[in-house]
Amino acid sequence: MTGRLTIAGLGPGDEALVTPEVRAAVAAATDIIGYAPYVALIAPREGLTLHPSDNRMELQRASEALRLASEGRNVVVVSSGDPGVFAMASAVFEALEQAPQWQQLPIRVLPGVTAMLAAAARVGAPLGHDFCAINLSDNLKSWTTIEKRLRLAADADFVIAMYNPRSANRLEGFGRALALLKEAGCGERLVIFARAVSRPDERIETVKLSEAMPEMADMRTVVIVGNSTTRRVGRWIYTLRYAE
């Protein structure tokens, strides 16, 4: 049997937001590899081996996936949301760059609904004009780089989606990010805190940036900072489609 590798996004959590092609790939898999909480979303069945792993082992996990595929297995690497957004797809290609013997393997990347899109849809259309996405984790880049990108994004009046705003071992960064945006004159902008979107414990809150507190976010929250035109209409929030 020829092995293959599929890198799939499971969406933000709700089963209804898993695409049919991802569902089919999971149903055909012999091995599922990924961060333990995502692997836990896959129902066990005969003939399927689950390989849950720790969060920070991306490269190791990617090499393991390539090795299993090279041995003839039908491997699916799972991420939450979209696998190309701050997730496993890049790690697999990084591992592939270091392992030319596997470059002929059939590899597919299957998109998923990323957190910022699920969150935006809940509140209306805050991403209706130019936007960017920034990962606030400084595990893989320096805080100086994060600050520079935030400052320039605020200056360019982008809507900014912030992933990984805060975790137990990174409590300060998000507060610094909010302070930087206040100093950059964004105090009047709307900020959406969207936690556990599409899951049973979903919670969504919108405040002005000047009223935003670091404690309003955790590692299950995506934060969307509106641009200067992002506004409320009734219970909805949207961003104007035009700018100067």
- Minimum distance from residue 62 beta carbon to ligand SAH (Å): 15
- Minimum distance from residue 2 beta carbon to ligand SAH (Å): 28
Residues in contact with ligand SAH by CB under 6 A are 12-13, 79-82, 85-87, 114-115, 119, 163-164, 194-199, 219-222
Nearer to ligand SAH, 66 or 197 (CB): 197
Nearer to ligand SAH, 135 or 228 (CB): 135
Q: Nearest-CA neighbor of 147 among 139, 158, 157, 138?
A: 138
Nearer to ligand SAH, 67 or 175 (CB): 175
- Minimum distance from residue 6 beta carbon to ligand SAH (Å): 15
Question: What is the SS3 assignment for 33?
Answer: strand
Asked if residues 76 and 33 have their Cβ atoms less than 8 Å apart, the reply is yes
Report the 10 Å Cβ neighbour count for 55. 12
- Minimum distance from residue 36 beta carbon to ligand SAH (Å): 14
CA of 98: how far to CAs of 45, 88, 198, 211, in Å? Answer: 33, 16, 37, 47
Report the 10 Å Cβ neighbour count for 240. 13
Phi and psi torsions of 48, nearest 5°: -115, 125
Nearer to ligand SAH, 102 or 115 (CB): 115
- Minimum distance from residue 42 beta carbon to ligand SAH (Å): 16
- Minimum distance from residue 229 beta carbon to ligand SAH (Å): 24
- Minimum distance from residue 16 beta carbon to ligand SAH (Å): 13
Nearer to ligand SAH, 194 or 212 (CB): 194
- How far apart CA 209 and CA 47 sit, in angstroms, is 51
Nearer to ligand SAH, 70 or 137 (CB): 137
Strand partners for 81: 11
Nearer to ligand SAH, 69 or 120 (CB): 120
DSSP one-letter string for 164-220: S--BTTB-SHHHHHHHHHHHTT-TTSEEEEEESTTSTT-EEEEEEGGG--GGG--TT
212-215: long-range contacts (C-beta < 8 A, 24 or more apart)? Answer: 212/178, 214/166, 214/171, 214/174, 214/175, 214/178
